[in-house]
Amino acid sequence: MGVMESVELPKPLKFVFNWGRKYSLWAFNFGLACCAIEFIAASTARHDFIRLGVIPFAHGPRQADLLMVSGTLTDKMAPAIKRLYDEMPEPKYVISFGSCANCGGPYWDSYSVTKGVDQIIPVDVYVPGCPPRPEALLDGIIALQDRIQNESLPQRMAERRPIILGTDGQVHELSVAEAQEASRAADAEVRREVEGAAR
């Protein structure tokens, strides 16, 4: 752990550091299935998350501070993502994008699918949907940036408070257990819609 994570900085210094971190998020994309296409759409000209200061060209996990997991995580792939996450330096953030990454999505009862990336790494922002639209990812990024701007790193290291984008369009900040439960509830709703549409 570095100095910034263990010592509370003076307010003006914290403001400048947080402002810099907020607008220079080097993203490591972990695209696993269809949601990754929405991620790509969010990075291209129409939605263009680079204008928000998110740089999707991290050469590897050691240069990244934002991991975006989009798609279906299988038990076979889970150790690889855990290893990549462990290689990222602190302070690091995780966006779980889409029902599959949040809780297994339509494959929640599959023998080979991990029931949410939060089973193996801590998630900062949950974006529900199957698939969520690129705008939802932009909302998730903006919510994360607001969090970073006002963040105290020692407090963050002591307690994580994930954010979940509600189906009501609101941003909710919850405890880890509450966020896991809320993301599963939101995605159960999405799953019912997907299963209903498939019939």
Query: Is position 105 an interface residue for ligand SF4 (rule: CB under 6 A)?
Result: yes
Query: Is position 98 an interface residue for ligand SF4 (rule: CB under 6 A)?
Result: yes
Least distance from C-beta 72 to ligand SF4, angstroms?
5
Write the binding mask 41 to 80 for ligand SF4: x where contact by CB under 6 A, - elsewhere.
------------------------------xx--------
Q: Are 137 and 102 in contact (CB under 8 A)?
A: no
Which own/partner pairs from 58-61 qualify as long-range (CB within 8 Å, at least 24 positions apart)? 58/26, 58/27, 58/28, 60/28, 60/87, 61/28, 61/85, 61/87, 61/88
Query: Is position 131 an interface residue for ligand SF4 (rule: CB under 6 A)?
Result: yes
Query: Is position 120 an interface residue for ligand SF4 (rule: CB under 6 A)?
Result: no
Query: Is position 95 an interface residue for ligand SF4 (rule: CB under 6 A)?
Result: no
The residues, ordered by sequence, that sit 6+ positions from 115 with a Cβ below 8 Å of its Cβ are: 103, 104, 108
Q: What are the start-end ranges of the E strands in the chain?
A: 25-31, 54-55, 66-70, 93-97, 125-127, 163-165, 171-173
Nearer to ligand SF4, 29 or 72 (CB): 72
Tally the residues of the chain. 199
Give the binding-site size for ligand SF4 (rule: CB under 6 A). 12
Nearer to ligand SF4, 65 or 140 (CB): 140
**Binding interface with ligand SF4 (CB under 6 A):** 33-35, 71-72, 98-100, 105-106, 130-131
